[in-house]
A and B are shown apart, each in its own frame.
Chain A
């Protein structure tokens, strides 16, 4: 599961799979701007067939936040 998430992150942010960490955020990744943020969200939604709420999307600040919001990986 985590690898699936990381693969999506790597593809959308155009970085290598190995470099993806939970701490990655718009502050640390150059390509992660507000539009990329939405592309990342929609890509994750499509990959895991979920719908995140607007509040959740706004609160997501890093890869670890994304992971926490995937129900299958929640706990």
Chain B
């Protein structure tokens, strides 16, 4: 996490201007609070970023019925601060509909990956904006429906002509209501009009998978709604947002860019003393710790614990990493039941005297995730420095200083941002707890074979259904280890594969006697005449190491070769820093290596129908997902 730095100093300005790579620019933003950059410095950084166009850059198009031109530069900077490159395109003024209907429109041709739409009611519904009190209740309702229809049409068009994820800003609620205080007393109030419209819009986007309600009203509230609109800029150039609003809007958009491009982190690792409670349990004793009501510092730590619990409820795993005697730490949780957190809330605990980077390594290992999926929170700058140096991929948050400032810093973490929370996420903590139990079973079972059989694993496998696509997309985005080709398809592409008859999008749901592990397998197969090409094969790390992959490949062999009568299956392995666990998968499944790509490291494989054999996978039952 960035220290609360201030704007650009002359040397950072110079460095940004002379940067010779995108990462050099990212470096100059390292200690800068983006919100404090002047408009001129934003220009300077955005210009510097533009000097390094890359195919990796996220393409963002901005549309609206007001002037949105100043925004892209701010988004470029906010995304760069997260290490993400962007290129942008601005639609024609007030032609937001034409720009997504016309296949020749520059916006469509730009092939945006993110499409941002902001419509002001000032021009979209002037009667609502200026003459609300002259409208009858019925007319107000019709206006709302008309506005909603327009959004619906726009979403439909944009989804047809682009592959983009859509961000639809909600109309901003006015500060001054036309009926003044009496608005509350109206049968259909102006404030209520915006609330209802918001709810309708959310309903429209919810479950869509590609369209998201961008809460502009909340975003502007955070930065100050009154200062966020400068009438002078509006009258002169139809700009709805002043420079004071732009960093906040850009920050929010950058969160989406981040969520689209980078997997969310999975585990929040916390220190104990002076992080989750005030004081040192080994010295002050459980009774002496400041946490809980009755003491202002205790109240702050209590709120920190509540927030941590909130992260757990949204699917983030919790772990402890504290230098203490474990018995002291356990006693604190026992003796202070008024604390929101309990010892059992933590899936993994490393409470001992090991160096923290080693503890973090063990935490990641026992959860079977990478250390780059960890967020580490500690009050001690020395520990934080150590972890930053030893494990730079960990997101280290130094939560120190005045306790009253800490809850908001914890609250504003965006490292766990995800576009969807699936049922799997909301149940994840319990799934991982079951997984930890499985691990301890493995330790005691001794014989791996009989352990695997005792798990009674069931794989339900078959063609994906529409309700699976969010999770499928999530697996494409998040899975690093068991991922043969690491193709990061976006939500729109996933939907296209699902619709395309030349592709089979297959999924697997796994359960065992400890519980349901959820949808954890994805296969994307391209049908090319007599050839079935395995484009992607992804397995969540939750079910690695128990033969599920063999069961899936067996099913594929049957589906395409042995029963399906096709001539051959092909596939490739593209090495990354993470997917070594599957380097020899094809060999073990009986495929023949065709070539070693010398430069990319890609290995291509083939399996002819005559060579296809179903391999044994003890303890696994496979069923068709359709029947369930």
Nearest-Cβ distance from residue B563 to partner chain A, whole angstroms: 63
Nearest-Cβ distance from residue A34 to partner chain B, whole angstroms: 7
* Interface: A18 (CB within 8 A): no
A interface: dominant SS: helix
Chain B residues with CB below 8 A from A42, complex form:
39, 233, 243
Bound form: Cα–Cα A35–B67 in Å: 9
Q: Is the CB of A39 within 8 A of B236?
A: no
* Interface: B237 (CB within 8 A): yes
- Number of chain B residues close to chain A: CB under 8 A: 16
Chain A residues with CB below 8 A from B235, complex form:
54
Q: Is the CB of B237 within 8 A of A11?
A: no
Fill in one digit per residue for A6-17: 1 if any B CB lies within 8 Å of its CB, else 0.
Answer: 001001101000
Chain B residues with CB below 8 A from A43, complex form:
39-40
Q: Is the CB of A35 within 8 A of B47?
A: no
Q: Is the CB of B236 within 8 A of A38?
A: yes
> A34-B237, A46-B38 are contacts. A39–B43 as well, Cβ < 8 Å?
yes
Interface residues of B in 21-41 (CB under 8 A from A): 38-40
> A38-B237, A54-B232 are contacts. A12–B69 as well, Cβ < 8 Å?
no
* Interface: A57 (CB within 8 A): yes
* Interface: B407 (CB within 8 A): no
B232 nearest CB neighbor, chain A only: A54
Bound form: Cα–Cα A17–B71 in Å: 26
Chain B residues with CB below 8 A from A54, complex form:
232, 235-236
Chain B residues with CB below 8 A from A38, complex form:
233, 236-237, 239
Nearest-Cβ distance from residue B40 to partner chain A, whole angstroms: 5
* Interface: B297 (CB within 8 A): no
Q: Is the CB of A11 within 8 A of B40?
A: yes
Bound form: Cα–Cα A8–B44 in Å: 12
Q: Is the CB of A35 within 8 A of B69?
A: yes
| B70, B232, B243, most chain A CB atoms within 10 A | B232
Q: Is the CB of B70 within 8 A of A35?
A: yes
Nearest-Cβ distance from residue B150 to partner chain A, whole angstroms: 26
B44 nearest CB neighbor, chain A only: A11
A8 nearest CB neighbor, chain B only: B40
Interface residues of B in 43-100 (CB under 8 A from A): 43-44, 47, 67, 69-70
Chain A residues with CB below 8 A from B233, complex form:
38, 42
B242 nearest CB neighbor, chain A only: A42
B interface: dominant SS: helix
Q: Give the contacting residue for B43; candidates A12, A34, A57; CB below 8 A.
A: A12
Bound form: Cα–Cα A43–B232 in Å: 14
Nearest-Cβ distance from residue A27 to partner chain B, whole angstroms: 19
Chain B residues with CB below 8 A from A11, complex form:
40, 43-44
Chain B residues with CB below 8 A from A14, complex form:
43, 47
Q: Is the CB of A39 within 8 A of B39?
A: yes
Chain B residues with CB below 8 A from A34, complex form:
237
Nearest-Cβ distance from residue B529 to partner chain A, whole angstroms: 54
Nearest-Cβ distance from residue A5 to partner chain B, whole angstroms: 13
Nearest-Cβ distance from residue B13 to partner chain A, whole angstroms: 9
Nearest-Cβ distance from residue A70 to partner chain B, whole angstroms: 17
Q: Is the CB of B39 within 8 A of A46?
A: yes
Nearest-Cβ distance from residue A36 to partner chain B, whole angstroms: 10
Nearest-Cβ distance from residue B46 to partner chain A, whole angstroms: 11
Q: Is the CB of B237 within 8 A of A12?
A: no
> A14-B47, A46-B38, A46-B39 are contacts. A39–B232 as well, Cβ < 8 Å?
no
Bound form: Cα–Cα A39–B236 in Å: 12
Chain B residues with CB below 8 A from A57, complex form:
232, 236
Bound form: Cα–Cα A42–B70 in Å: 12
Nearest-Cβ distance from residue B359 to partner chain A, whole angstroms: 48
A51 nearest CB neighbor, chain B only: B232
B40 nearest CB neighbor, chain A only: A11
Fill in one digit per residue for A41-56: 1 if any B CB lies within 8 Å of its CB, else 0.
Answer: 0110010000000100
Chain A residues with CB below 8 A from B237, complex form:
34-35, 38
| A38, A43, A54, A57, most chain B CB atoms within 10 A | A38
Chain A residues with CB below 8 A from B239, complex form:
38
| A34, A39, A43, A46, most chain B CB atoms within 10 A | A39
Bound form: Cα–Cα A26–B67 in Å: 20
Nearest-Cβ distance from residue A48 to partner chain B, whole angstroms: 13
Chain A residues with CB below 8 A from B232, complex form:
54, 57
Bound form: Cα–Cα A46–B534 in Å: 58
Chain A residues with CB below 8 A from B39, complex form:
39, 42-43, 46
Interface residues of A in 29-75 (CB under 8 A from B): 34-35, 38-39, 42-43, 46, 54, 57-58
Interface residues of B in 471-515 (CB under 8 A from A): none
Chain B residues with CB below 8 A from A39, complex form:
39, 43, 70
Apart from A14-B43, A14-B47, A43-B39, 4 more pairs, CB < 8 Å: A11-B44, A35-B70, A38-B237, A39-B39
24 A-B pairs (CB sep. < 8 Å)? A11-B44, A12-B40, A12-B43, A14-B43, A34-B237, A35-B67, A35-B69, A35-B70, A35-B237, A38-B233, A38-B236, A38-B237, A39-B70, A42-B39, A42-B233, A42-B243, A43-B40, A46-B38, A46-B39, A54-B232, A54-B236, A57-B232, A57-B236, A58-B236
* Interface set of A (CB-CB < 8 Å, partner B): 8, 11-12, 14, 34-35, 38-39, 42-43, 46, 54, 57-58
Sort A-B residue pairs by CB-CB distance and give the 7 closest, nearest first.
A11-B40, A35-B69, A38-B237, A43-B40, A54-B232, A54-B236, A43-B39
